[in-house]
Amino acid sequence: MSQHPEPSAQPSPCAAPPAAPARPEPGGTDAVAVAGVAPTSIAADAVGRGTVGAATRSRVAPWLAAAALLVVGLAAFGVVRVAGAVGEPAASGPATAGPATAGPLAPADPPVAAVPFTATPPAQAPVSFDPLVRFARFGRLPDGVVHRTTIVQAGGRGAYTMEAGRPTRSTGAKVVVTFFPQGAAPHEDCSAAAGLAPRHFGASSSAPQVVPAVGGRPAQWADGRLRWEYAPGAWAEIAGEDLTDGGDDAAAELAALAKVAGDLRFGAESLRFPLLVPHPAPDLRLVATTVTERSKVGWSAALAFSAGDYCPDGRGAAGGTLTVAVAAIIPGFGWTGDHANATLDGHSAIRQDLPGGGKALAVYDNPGPYLTLVAADDATRTLLGVPGLDGLYRRAQVLAEPDLHTIAEPVDQSGWTTDPVR
């Protein structure tokens, strides 16, 4: 990242972002060092490029990255049990799918009061984003581009990221917007969304002669991204590719980015999740979430818990982390081969021992949904107690079923929950 001058005591819209603080040393990253694949929102890209098959030849099963890396969750092949499909009744109330639960779950009230989304930026940015709350929405997007994924990471080094692209394609137009909390410099280190943004222009591209304003606010061109101060002392950035015909006119692409950035909407509402999990352990707190509402491979979601500092590496993997992820279908659906090495409650499963004493589990049928659980290291696994990942799997509940006929269409979220951890 390019260096910026130190901020003044009173940041202004023309001020440069503050210099990024030194990255803390994450602990136990060896447990997930080999887990690194495409983020959830672009998991279809990996499938479309034919990289899934190559990933299976690595020494660690590719499904492992699905949960070890929060924003992945899709480089695998399998399905979790579906209530009713295997002789197990769904909980009373609306139809649900997933592992059996101890009994009906009472509906939860939305954890946040809704604030209408408007084009007015917030007067003050949050010091930390809530992993369960939608902070922003896209306004106008290029023709054929839709919102696909939201990634929220709590903490002063966290961020709120949203991605849009073609709903039925793994390539083509794409745009990623990231909001950083109050006082944080734009950064990629310690980021759950690391590597998500495209680099169509490239970080080494020469700066454009004219940088368009964003919503009337001065903007900067840095590291292949357009950056602006969306609230006093708080920065946002946008990156994209192929947003105009041909995608070869840098000035036109930059103007398209500025247009998207200038039409963002700000407000608050609860995110909805197709997954319910119990509180895994008293010392594990929810630190990050990802939800893909629409893509070539359907919906997906992931929840990341940590007992300490949450600092994902460049591939999004973090030590000291428990991750639970669900995907609508096997990401490589149609790709042949079954890599199961175990069964669990009558379903195909993959079990993996990780460096550092961690454990990973995937449970599946065909074609979906598909559930992965990863305790990154021995300390995290120990916090789960004797039942371990098996016990957590049996108490989890998937709230949606895939429909291969409408896999890329907008998903019905009426049965999803705003309170996925209870």
- pLDDT by residue (tens digit) across 211-245? 888 888 888 988 778 999 999 999 999 998 888 87
What pLDDT is attached to residue 17? Answer: 58
Greatest Cα pair distance, the chain, in angstroms, is 65
Q: Tell me: pLDDT of 26 over 60.
A: no
Q: Is the pLDDT of residue 193 over 80?
A: yes
The predicted structure's pLDDT at residue 391: 96
Mean pLDDT (whole number) for 385-403? 92
How sure is the predictor about 108, in pLDDT bands with cuts at 50, 70 and 90?
low
Asked if the model's pLDDT at residue 29 lies above 60, the reply is no
CB-CB contact of 383 with 281 (8 Å): yes
Per-residue confidence at 200, pLDDT binned at 50, 70, 90?
low
pLDDT of residue 7: 34
Position 367 scores a pLDDT of: 75
Average pLDDT of 357-367? Answer: 88
Residue 9, CA distances (Å) to 19, 232, 420 in order: 14, 11, 40
Residue 288 scores a pLDDT above 80: yes
**Predicted local distance difference test score (pLDDT) of residue 337:** 54
Is residue 292 over pLDDT 80?
Answer: yes
Q: Where are the domains of the chain?
A: 29-107+272-406, 115-270
The pLDDT score that the predictor gives to residue 74 is 34
pLDDT at residue 215, as a whole number: 80
Residue 244 has what pLDDT? 81
Confidence of residue 373 (pLDDT cuts 50, 70, 90): very high
Mean pLDDT of the chain: 74
From 94-103, 113-122, 236-245, 345-354, the region with the lowest mean pLDDT: 94-103
Q: What is the mean pLDDT of residues 245-260?
A: 81
Average of per-residue pLDDT across 196-206: 57
- Residue 398 forms beta bridges with which residues? 275
Task: Between 108 and 302, name the one with better pLDDT.
Answer: 302
pLDDT at 84: 27
pLDDT at 205 exceeding the cut of 60 = no
Q: Is residue 109 over pLDDT 50? A: yes
Is residue 408 pLDDT above 70, yes or no? yes
pLDDT in tens, 254-280: 888 999 999 999 999 999 999 999 999
d(Cα 51, Cα 74) in Å, to the nearest integer? 12
What is the reported pLDDT for 43?
A: 31
- The pLDDT > 70 percentage for the chain reads 68
CA distances to 10, 76, 274, 298, 410 from 403, rounded to whole Å, are 52, 18, 14, 9, 11
Confidence of residue 246 (pLDDT cuts 50, 70, 90): low
pLDDT in tens, 316-353: 678 899 999 999 876 555 444 567 899 999 888 999 99
pLDDT of 44 reads 30
Mean pLDDT confidence for 194-205? 60
